[in-house]
Structure 1
Amino acid sequence: MMRNYLLHRLGSGLLVLWAAFTLSFLLLQVLPGDAVLIKFQNPDLGLSPQQIAEMRLAYGADSPLWQQYFHTLLAMLHGDFGYSVQAGVPVSQQLASNLPGTLRLALCGFALALILALVLAALSRQPVLRPLRALLQSLPALFISVPTFWLGIALIQAFSFQLRWIPVINPSPWQGMILPVITVAVPISAPLAQILLRSIDQVTTQPFVAVARAKGASESRVLWRHVLRNAMLPVLTIAGLLLGELIAGALITETVFGLGGLGQLTQQAVNNQDVAILQAVVMISALAFVLINLLVDLLMPLFDPRLQVASGGAL
């Protein structure tokens, strides 16, 4: 039954979130340095050792590890991500001001990556471009080999300093998003295009494609109506798995372009050993990964009727 399948997927998702929390908590605890000491041992603050000890007690830095673990876990279950040691404000407040920018960049980048993958796949199947098919099919390998930070710097150099099409200083909101979105989209589009091209080659050999052609359907209709719909199944699967790379690419891109978002917040948290912020960023990334993969599982039956749940059957 669909209900049992959804419950199973939700249970698996909760297990993934718990594992991500536990692993990130343990790894962050063994990092060298101490956020409380980094902030309050500054000689300019003039705090005594006793006052610093009181601050460590207030932030729970001296509590046993198991107490910190369960306290943090229970707090996150209630939507409380704790306090930032450096900023002195709730982490949720910082997330609320930085998360929308990262989501906008990630979603626009993912949409552009899908468009690039579809365009490359469609162009490689056009009869007039048959001599260039090998070149088009080699582009994804080039895209995936380009480091995100290098691509961002190269785009700034080309379009801002050389061509002067996009201003670097005080760009408009939409101008400021063009190069970062391209920087995020290009590496993500590469594996999508590679999987889609291979899938199209496999689907075109199926008997139903030959039947569609025999009925007089044009190549464009066969491609868009019959081939792509069936070839999208592996692409949907890999799209969910690429979410981690998408988030990482967005964080690096924000740093390169100086954009406000989780990238800048994460960089500051790493420099200051602000564990609460780093833990929150990890959990948000894990939650997004679980939700996207659950959405992919729900969308796949729309592309392949064989995966739909029959009345009283199972997925």
Structure 2
Amino acid sequence: MSAGARRGAAVARWIAARIGSALLVVWVVATLVFFALRLSGDPLEAILGGPGSQAGPEAVEHAIAQYGLDRPLAVQYLVQLRDIATLQLGDSYARRQPVIDLLGAHLPPTLLLAVLALALAWILTVAGALVQAVSRGRVGAVVGAAMRGLEIVASVAPQFWLGAVLIVLFASTLGWLPATSSGSQPAALVLPVVTLAIPIAGFLSQVSRDALDDADRAPFAVTARARGASEARVLLRHTLRHAALPALSLSGWAFGSLLSGAVVVEVLFARPGLGRLLQEAALQRDVPVVIGAVAVVAVLYVAVVIATDALELVVDPRLRGPRPGALSAPTAGVGS
């Protein structure tokens, strides 16, 4: 077999493995959500309009037959998996609308929020790495200590607390930004995006700072300085790329964290989106909506992880080996 054929087969195996992992994630998530919601109560109550419903016996029998609630639980579970596989998610119990339409309407605002927050987190991370790299001597030690403290505080700050502080400071006290983001104006996105981005930026900054320290002492950086390269050139050509690799490999996890954090942020800022829809559906035990929303989030997470793996190939030439399995190799350093 030629080298090109072997490479093609390896790529096909890598793609098949990623598709298999995506299907596995969706199956596990859908299974956990289905049984957790059933253990929390009877979905018939949600179908009939919630607690205190005055539905008569005929309405109850019709709802049981329509949604297959008279079948064994195992059969209902298999039917739910079949519906997910065929994208036939059914209708919402509470809203009486097709689940696919609800997801289509609520997903774009959440994706916009997550993408902007991830971009801002990366901007803050790179800015922090640049400040650290250009700070030398005693000033550099003070700046480094201050930044480490800020990174720790940012990474552990609860989003609901951080969002509340931002609302009090910038909306209630200063009046610079709106406290809710139900409208379409760009200013309404600022506080939710900052609330989501700061904890992620704190975590990514800690990872990249350690990598930048290692790269600064690495032989390729020392050699570049010995050849007369300026600190700016060493930073931009060598050490900054090295520092970005560990944070880049965690961007898939960061995006998944942003999607989960959207539940808190969208409720806090009264922002329409998938997170708020999921929170309301969970309270109403709206099984089709919850399972559909969680399945979409799981697929998005896996897709972003795959994209991150592919992006690492562009940034780190060492990963462009003979087989795509090298995507999961450690990113311990980058040569010149």
Deviation (angstroms), 1:229: 1.2
Query: Which of 30, 55, 66 does residue 39 from structure 2 map onto?
Result: 30
**TM-superposed deviation, 1:171:** 6.1
Q: Give the corresponding residue for 1:180.
A: 192
The equivalent residue for 2:291 is 279
Q: How does 1:124-139 map to 2 (within 5 A)?
A: 124-127=132-135, 129-130=139-140, 131-139=142-150
In structure 1, C-alpha distance between the alignment counterparts of 2:24 and 2:285, rounded to whole Å:
27
Residues 230 and 303 in structure 1, CA contact (< 8 A), matched pair in contact too: no
2:252 is aligned with what amino acid? Answer: G
Q: TM-score, normalised by structure 2?
A: 0.87
Correspondence for 1:166 among 166, 177, 202: 177
Report the counterpart of residue 67 of structure 2 in structure 1.
59
Contact 1:124 1:137 in 2 (8 A): no
TM-score, L = length of structure 1: 0.92
Provide closer, same or farther for how the CA distance between residues 26 and 45 of structure 1 changes in structure 2, counting only shifts above 3 A: closer
1:20 and 2:20 correspond: no
Give the secondary-structure state (helix, strand or coil) at the position aligned to 1:242.
helix
Q: 1:5 aligns with which of 5, 10, 14?
A: 14
Matched residue type, 2:309: D
Q: Does 1:98 align with 2:109?
A: no
Would you say the 8 A contact 1:266–1:281 is kept in 2? yes
- Provide the C-alpha distance between the structure 1 equivalents of 2:147 and 2:236, rounded to a whole number of angstroms: 19
**Residues 240-249 or 107-116, more deviating:** 240-249
Note if 1:108 corresponds to 2:119: no
Secondary structure of 2:250's counterpart equals helix
SS at match of 2:278: helix
Long gaps (5+) in structure 1: none
Give the equivalent residue in structure 2 for 1:256: 268
- Residues 105-145 of structure 1, C-alpha deviations (whole Å, 9 max, x = no match): 01101110111111112112222651321101221100012
Structure 2 CA distance, aligned partners of 1:314 and 1:243? 22
Contact 1:301 1:308 in 2 (8 A): yes
Q: Match of 1:299?
A: 311
Aligned residues: 313
RMSD of Structure 2 on Structure 1 (CA): 2.1
- Matched-pair contact (CA < 8 Å) for 1:240–1:296: yes
Q: Quick one: distance in 2 between partners of 1:260 and 1:241?
A: 23
Residues 46 and 286 of structure 2 are in contact (CA less than 8 Å); yes or no, is this contact kept in structure 1? no
2:93 aligns with 85
Give distance in 2, aligned partners of 1:52 and 1:85.
13
Structure 2, unaligned stretches of length 5 or more? Answer: 1-9, 327-336
Match of 2:239 in 1: 227
Aligned sequence identity (%): 35
Partner of 2:213: 201
